[in-house]
Amino acid sequence: ALYSMICTMNHSCAPNVAVSYSPIEMPGAWRDSKDHETPVSGIPPLKAQVHALRDIEPGEELRFSYIDTSASLSERRLALSDYGFICSCPLCQSQQQSEGNLHVRPDEE
């Protein structure tokens, strides 16, 4: 089952896959009192698709982003605080190192 696999995929701000969801067409399967094709919950059933964003090496872990990766490092860290971890992907490490270098005085290099 793809959904159970997606639920266990880890995050990266430099993901190698993206996950997209689209409604499943189920004519006549869900009908409300107005004869519309809508499940009782009001949310149509969805199918998930995982798309590679780059070539993936055999054995490489599939990772997607839980957040907006175009945000700044501090914004991404704040968004990820709800998930209970600090991302240490290559993008975050690189940006953290760059930010750290901005705080070094020239005589300390």
How does pLDDT run across 16-67, given as a tens digit for each residue? 999 998 888 766 555 554 555 555 566 677 888 999 999 999 999 999 999 9
Split into its structural domains, the chain has a count of 1
At 12, is the secondary structure helix, strand, or coil? coil
CA pair distance 47, 6, nearest whole angstrom: 12
The pLDDT of residue 11:
95
Range of the domain at 8: 2-108
Q: Given the structure tokens 């590679």, which residue do they identify?
A: 52
Greater confidence (1 vs 73) lies with 73
* CATH (domain of 74): 2.170.270.10
CA pair distance 30, 42, nearest whole angstrom: 10
Q: How confident is the model at residue 4 (pLDDT cuts 50, 70, 90)?
A: confident
The pLDDT of residue 103:
47
Q: Residue 56 carries which DSSP code?
A: -
The pLDDT of residue 3:
63
- Report whether pLDDT(6) > 90: no
Q: Encode burial over 3-15: b for 16+ CB neighbours within 10 A, e otherwise.
A: eeebeebebbbbb
**What's the mean per-residue pLDDT of the chain?**
81
Q: Partners of 63 in the beta sheet?
A: 10
